[in-house]
Amino acid sequence: MKNKILNRLKRMICGFAAIIVCFSLFSFTSKNYIKKDTVVNNSFKLKTIIVDAGHGGKKTGAFGSYSVEKNVTLAIALKLQKAIEKEMNDVNVIMTRTTDDDVAFRSRADIANSNHGNVFISIHCNSLSDRRRTQVVGYKKGKRGKKIPIYKTVSVPDRSGKGPLLLVYSTKRIGPQIEALRENAELYEDKNYKDQYNGYDPDDPASVILLNAFKNKYRKQSIHLANLINTEFTDGDGRRSEGVREQVLFVLDHTAMPSVLVETGYINNHDDEEYLNSEAGQNEIVDSIVRALINYKKEVEQVVTQ
């Protein structure tokens, strides 16, 4: 009887010891696993930036007192091209236009997509429409000699707008961007996207989910880049800004990449027009955009630690 009890005790002790050893090994392994970070190398590289000078040819764009939008945007865009090539020498810059010739909106988006653009920056100048105002221009005699005012509605220039504005595509018109993603799937470096697209089926929930994921990804990146540029304008240059807004714009809707339209200032505001046409003002705008692009590039290319 005693032997049976002793044997049971031995088995219990051995089992308990085995549990302790296993627990110790597990704890040791877990600690090492927690301490040792897993480094994931992000293979994405920002290789191509599309620079778009708004308007051109007969489409002059907004007017100032002595200048027009198409000329200002081309001057800034050409400076931006040189600055990016100098400060970001591993990035290729593609221009949608380098002359006064007009380029159709669809062609601008096609240039961006066909050249594997990673970022699309469109340069524009803002302007406010004239305000309609009713004023008294004279009087006429009424009954008993009473004066009756004569009213006339006139257009009065609205020069109250001032400073830059950053625009990203609106969620109210997402169809064209999804179509651009579908049409240009072969341009992406993301293997999962390519593989999924090869068997794309509009009725397949998985395909739709994937396209929506890319759409949302590019939308978030567009907003983030717009905020980076806006911060450089306000904090770096001390300019008053109208911030970042959504707007339905064909050229942004049809580009399959993060896209931002930069309204560099109000050309019909005297102070802004002087700034936009000056070398100093154009260089400051360009430097702000380049600083934002450098920061954006660092973020999207960074090594991720898990």
Place of tokens 């996207």: 193
pLDDT, position 134:
76
The Cα diameter of the chain in Å comes to 136
Of 18-22, 122-126, 138-142, 252-256, which gets the smallest average pLDDT?
18-22
pLDDT grade for 152, boundaries at 50, 70 and 90: confident
Q: Are 267 and 64 in contact (CB under 8 A)?
A: yes
Beta bridge partners of 18: none
> Is residue 231 scored above 70 in pLDDT?
yes
CB-based contacts of 138: which residues, under 8 Å, 6+ apart? 149, 150
Q: Token pair for residue 162?
A: 């001032």
What does the pLDDT average to over 103-122? 93
Is residue 169 exposed (0-12), middle (13-18) or buried (19+ Cβ within 10 Å)?
A: buried
For 160-212, write each residue's pLDDT tens digit. 889 999 999 876 655 544 444 444 444 344 444 444 444 444 454 444 444 45
What does the pLDDT average to over 212-236? 87
DSSP 167: E
**Residue type at 163?**
G
Fold of 48-128+161-305: Aminopeptidase (3.40.630)
CA distance 126 to 63: 9
Among residues 260, 251, 209, the alpha carbon closest in space to that of 233 is found at: 260
pLDDT, position 89:
93
CA triple 122-257-178, angle to 5 deg: 115
CA distance 88 to 244: 25
pLDDT, position 18:
47
Beta bridge partners of 156: 131
How does the average pLDDT of the chain come out, rounded? Answer: 78
